[in-house]
Structure 1
Amino acid sequence: MDFNRVGTTGITVSDLCVGTSPLGGMPQTYGYGVEEDRAIATVQAVFETPINFLDTSNEYGKGESERRIGTAIERAGGLPDGFVLATKADPDGRDFSATRVRRSFEESCERLGVERFDLFHLHDPERFAFEEITAPGGALEGMRQLKEEGLVTAIGVAGGDLEAMEQYVDLGVFDVLLNHNRFTLLDQSASPLITKVVELGMTYLNAAPYASGLLAKPLEQKPRYQYREPDAETVARTQRLRALCDGYGVDLAAVALQFSTRDPRVTSTLVGVSHPDRVHELVANREAVIPDELWAEVAEVATHD
C-alpha cells in the first residue's frame, strides 16, 4: 500500500480510504442494512490494517455512522497514531448557512469524540444554488472560517455532479475534491476534471470504484450501479469485463479497485465497506497482482461502449 500527501497540508493518507455510509444502516441506498455491532467491528478491523484513512459524514444514517465510528474509536482508546478521520458538513433541511456548517462540525465532533478534523468536506452542495452556497453567510464562508480558526487542516468539496464540482474547484479555495462513481471501469467522465484538479495543485479523492456494487458483486446478488438498478448495456459491459478477468484468474473487484489506485492523479480511493471481512478483502484486492496483458484488454472494454 502506498501513502500520499494531501497537497501541501502535511497530511499523509493511505491510497485506500474506507467509506462508511453503509455503516449508518442505509438500506434505502444500498438495499441492505448494517447492525451496530457489525458496524463497530468493521471500524475495528480497519484499525488492524495499514489503512490510515476513514471517511464519514454528518448525515449518514442521520448521524448513526458517526456515532458507531465514535464508539469504535472509544473502545480502541482513541484513533491510532497518524490516522486521518474525515467527515462532511451537511445541511439541516434547507439551511446550509455558515452557522449550519459550524453546527454540523460540532455535531460530528461530539459523535466522533474529537475536537478537530484533518479534512472536512462541504457535502453535496449541488443540492443548493451555487449563489446560495457562496453568498455572504453561506456554507462556503462557514467552511473557510473553520480552516482559518485551525479547527480543520484542509477543506474539501464532495459530490457527484461534475459540472457543479467544477464550479467549486474554480473558486480556488478548496484543498480537495472528492467525487464518486465518475471514474470507474464503466464511467471515466471525471477524467478531464481530475487532470484539472491536479494541475491546480489540489488533491483528488476517487470514491466508489466499484460503481456502488456492480463491479464487486455477482449479478445474482442484484448489485446496484451508481445507486440505481443497472441498465442492460451496463450489465453486458460488466459481464465482458468479468469474463476477461476470469480468463486470467483475477477477481474483477481487484481490477476495478486498482484501475483507480494505479492512476497517479488519484491520491486515495474511497470504498464503502459494511463488514469486517470486506476490509481484509479490500486490502487483498489492492495488493493483487494483475498482468499487464489483462490491463490492455480491460482498457478496450472500459473505454469503448
Structure 2
Amino acid sequence: MTNSDVESSFPLRTLGRTGLQVSALCVGCAPLGDMPETFAYSVGEEQALETVRAIFRSPITFVDTAASYGDGESERRIGIVLKELGGVPGGYVLATKADRDLHTSDFSGAQMRRSVERSLKLLGLDVLPLVYLHDPEHITFEAAMAPGGPVEVLQSLKEEGLIKHLGVAGGPIDLMSRFVETNIFEAAISHNRYTLLDTEADAFWDLCRQHGVGTVNAAPYGSGILAKGPKNYPRYQYEQASEAYLARAFKFEEACERYGVPLAAVALQFSLRDPRIDSTVIGMSRAERVNETVRLSQVSIPSELWNEIEAIRQA
C-alpha cells in the first residue's frame, strides 16, 4: 500500500496544534507488550510482530505505544518491524509515552530522560514525533511541574530535538485538566472515561479544544466489555465491572442485537462521531483485528438505534 493509498483510505485530521496529520482511528499497542496481568491474556512475540506488520500496511496511520507497556516489550517489538521496514513508513505517526521506573517507581526528571532514551533505542529512531507524559497520577501535579522535574526535562528533550511534540496521557480528569491548562502540552489522551458506560471526560474535550490541545480518546470499549460483550468479558477499566455497568452493557447489547448491529461498532462510533475528538485508540493484539476495526468504524448505524442507546445512557 502506498502512502497515497493510505491517505485516500481514511480521512486525516490535524492533531491540535501539533500540526500532525493523524487518522481518526489509532492503534493502541499496549496488548503487544504481553501484559496478561492487565488484559487477562498473553500475546506471543510472533503474533505481536505480525500485528505490527499489519498495522503498517493498513489505513490506520496513527500508532500509540508507551515505555511502560510490557516494560519496553511493546516498543522492542515495534522496533523489530521498523528495522525490517527501514523506519516508520511515510504517512504514519508513531507516538510513545515517557514513564516512571516500574521497578522503583522513580518518576523524576532524570527518569524521564532515561525513559525517552530507552524508547529511542528500542524503536530504533533518532527522533520521537510525539511523546506523552504518562500516568502523572503516580506523582503530584506540583512534583511533575517542579524545577528539574518530569515536565521540565521533557521540555528540554524537545528543545534538544529528541522529541518533536509533547503530550500528556493519564486517568484522573481533574489532574489531566490542570496539565492542559498549563499550555505546555500539545495533545492529551484520556482513557476509559469517554465510553457508552462512562462519560466523565465530556467536559475535558471542551477544555482541550479551548487550549488548542489535540484530543485522543483511548479505550472506548472500556478495556473489552463493549467489544466482546458483558457475558464474555465482564470487566471494565481492567477490573471486574460493577453491577450497574454490567446491567447497562446488557441493555446496550440487547438493543444492538435487535438492529443487527455489533455492539463494538456502536461503542467505537460513539467516540468517532464526536467532533471534539481527533483520534480514538483501539488496542489490538492480532493482525486480523486491524481490518476488523476499520470495518466496525464503517458500519451503518440507524438513527433509531442511536436514540435507544442515548435513552439507555441517560436512564
Identify the TM-score tier after normalising by the shorter chain.
over 0.9
**2:158 and 2:82 mapped to 1: Cα distance?**
24
- 8 Å CA contact retained: 1:44, 1:76: no
Shift of 1:77: 2.9
AA aligned to 2:150 is A
* Aligned residue number for residue 274 of structure 2: 263
Q: Which runs of 4+ in 1 moved over 6 A?
A: none
AA aligned to 2:117 is E
2:40 equivalent to 1:31: yes
Shift of 1:303: 2.9
- 8 Å CA contact retained: 1:24, 1:65: yes
SS at match of 1:186: coil
* Aligned residue number for residue 79 of structure 2: 70
Q: TM-score scaled by structure 2?
A: 0.94
* Aligned residue number for residue 234 of structure 1: 245
Identity %: 47
- Of 226, 237, 251 in structure 1, the residue corresponding to residue 262 of structure 2 is 251
AA aligned to 1:3 is L
SS at match of 1:8: helix
2:36 equivalent to 1:47: no
**1:211 and 1:218 mapped to 2: Cα distance?**
11
SS at match of 2:31: helix
- 8 Å CA contact retained: 2:230, 2:249: no
- 8 Å CA contact retained: 1:30, 1:224: no
**2:122 and 2:191 mapped to 1: Cα distance?**
25
2:185 equivalent to 1:180: no
1:272-301 deviation line (CA, Å, top 9, x unaligned) = 111111111111111111112211111111
- 8 Å CA contact retained: 2:229, 2:253: no
SS at match of 2:81: helix
**1:261 and 1:271 mapped to 2: Cα distance?**
11
2:94 equivalent to 1:85: yes
**1:140 and 1:251 mapped to 2: Cα distance?**
41
AA aligned to 1:235 is L
* Aligned residue number for residue 60 of structure 1: 69
**2:132 and 2:64 mapped to 1: Cα distance?**
10
**2:158 and 2:262 mapped to 1: Cα distance?**
41
Which shifted more, 118-127 or 211-220? 211-220
SS at match of 2:239: coil
**1:218 and 1:297 mapped to 2: Cα distance?**
18
Which shifted more, 58-67 or 220-229? 220-229
AA aligned to 1:297 is E
SS at match of 1:184: coil
AA aligned to 1:183 is Y
Shift of 1:265: 0.4
Shift of 1:237: 0.5
* Aligned residue number for residue 297 of structure 2: 286
Shift of 1:118: 1.4
SS at match of 2:189: strand
Shift of 1:97: 2.1
**RMSD value over aligned CA atoms?**
1.2
Unpaired segments of 5 or more residues in structure 1? none
Unpaired segments of 5 or more residues in structure 2? 1-9
SS at match of 1:158: strand
Count of matched residue positions in the alignment of Structure 1 and Structure 2: 304
Aligned ranges 1:10-29 → 2 under 5 Å = 10-29=19-38
* Aligned residue number for residue 147 of structure 1: 158
**1:301 and 1:220 mapped to 2: Cα distance?**
18
Shift of 1:223: 4.1
2:137 equivalent to 1:112: no
**1:103 and 1:257 mapped to 2: Cα distance?**
35
1:15-55 deviation line (CA, Å, top 9, x unaligned) = 00000111111010010110000011111111121111111
Which shifted more, 292-301 or 256-265? 292-301
In 2 relative to 1, CA 101–277 (structure 1 residues): closer, same or farther, beyond 3 Å?
same
**2:242 and 2:17 mapped to 1: Cα distance?**
42
Shift of 1:251: 0.5
**1:221 and 1:20 mapped to 2: Cα distance?**
22
Q: TM-score scaled by structure 1?
A: 0.97
Which shifted more, 93-102 or 290-299? 93-102
SS at match of 2:294: helix
- 8 Å CA contact retained: 2:255, 2:308: yes
- Of 5, 11, 23 in structure 2, the residue corresponding to residue 2 of structure 1 is 11
- 8 Å CA contact retained: 1:205, 1:268: yes
Aligned ranges 1:182-221 → 2 under 5 Å = 182-221=193-232
Which shifted more, 218-227 or 184-193? 218-227
